[in-house]
Amino acid sequence: MAKKRPQTKGKPQVTSGEIPVVGAREPCPCGSGRRYKACHGREAAHAVTELVQRPFEGLPGEGDWVALRELVPAATVELSLKEKLPEDVPSVTLATVLPMAWPALRRDDGTILLGLQNDTSSGDISRDLADTLQRALTAEPGSPVQARRAPADGPRLQDLLDPDGAFEPVVHTGFEFWVPDSENASGEVAASLERANAAAIPTVKLTGVDSAYWCETPEKNHLRWVMPHPEEKLLDALARLHAAGTSSLGEGTRLVGSFRAHGLTVPVWDLPSSVTAEDVEKPAAEFAERLTAALATDAPLTADERRARGGLTNRQVTLS
């Protein structure tokens, strides 16, 4: 005979939003007698694993959020929140990555570093980061914030950050921003910094166009440019320029393809190793003008443009 479940008749009805998140094998807090994963955890698990294609949509600097998540080794951004910070929290800074891959760190002076390049437990990076940020605001000074599964009905970054706040990344040559006095770091801290700095690819953010990042690699340099335009329209425009021979950024440079990241398309150019970030500033600005004109064209693609588009899409990959 099947085992009878405990009776819950007479208990007040609760909504999923009132049920706290617990371990999958723990009893569900609703009092049903079932394990959480077989009760209210089913709905929560579905909600947190559903992939949000553009987690940073609606935030100032969406393209830079994507770049800092996927492309840039070492960078920081001062964040502005909608609500006033607690008196014992002087500032909140987004960082590409933190020591030990901590989700966040509350420093001794109360300032907060929020890590962006971390594995997340759900399909919505924005919700995971918002949960980490909220916990960091009340963490003890001098302590990291540990990873956890964010509540399915918790706020997102779009709910916490000031929509009118500036988003101005500062790209660093290394990870000295991890510690307040990096010049005097010693022992394990100094060794950790040295290892991290040695692995960082030199990267520079262009100043003349949005969300474009030059990087240096041993064989050649690259420009990776996160663009906000709808993918199909952007690929058509790039194909028009490529077929016309105007998709490069100067002599020796070449548009080699693109990849998708968090709902945006990122064209990539190969550059000679002699081409610096400063060298590519003017050509990038000129390309932006050509691209704007191509995006405004609605004429059907020619045969050459279709072939160019096919070549671009065949070399496209998805990072997230």
- Per residue in 277-291, pLDDT tens? 999 999 999 999 999
Question: What is the rounded CA–CA span in Å between residue 128 and residue 51?
Answer: 12
Q: Phi, psi at residue 62, to the nearest 5°?
A: -55, -45
Residue with tokens 């001062």: 78
179 CB burial (10 A radius; 0-12, 13-18, 19+): middle
- Per residue in 163-211, pLDDT tens? 999 999 999 999 999 988 777 666 777 888 888 899 899 999 999 999 9
Classify 5 as helix, strand or coil.
coil
What pLDDT is stored for residue 194 in this prediction? 86
CB 22 within 8 A of CB 36: yes
Question: For residue 202, what is the DSSP state?
Answer: P
Opening angle at CA 238, ends 232 and 241, nearest 5: 145
Find the range with the poorest average confidence among 9-13, 36-40, 64-68.
Answer: 9-13
The one-letter amino acid code at 211 reads: S
Question: What is the rounded CA–CA span in Å between residue 302 and residue 58?
Answer: 35
Per-position DSSP letters for 227-250, written without gaps between them: B-S-HHHHHHHHHHHHHTT--SSS
Residue 85 has pLDDT above 70, yes or no: yes
- Per residue in 89-108, pLDDT tens? 999 999 999 988 899 999 99
Q: Assign 24 a pLDDT band (cuts: 50, 70, 90).
A: low
How many distinct helices (H) and strands (E) make up the chain?
8, 12
Q: Assign 9 a pLDDT band (cuts: 50, 70, 90).
A: very low
Question: What is the rounded CA–CA span in Å between residue 269 and residue 247?
Answer: 9
Q: What is the reported pTM?
A: 0.83
- Mean pLDDT, residues 246-266: 96
Question: What is the rounded CA–CA span in Å between residue 120 and residue 69?
Answer: 12
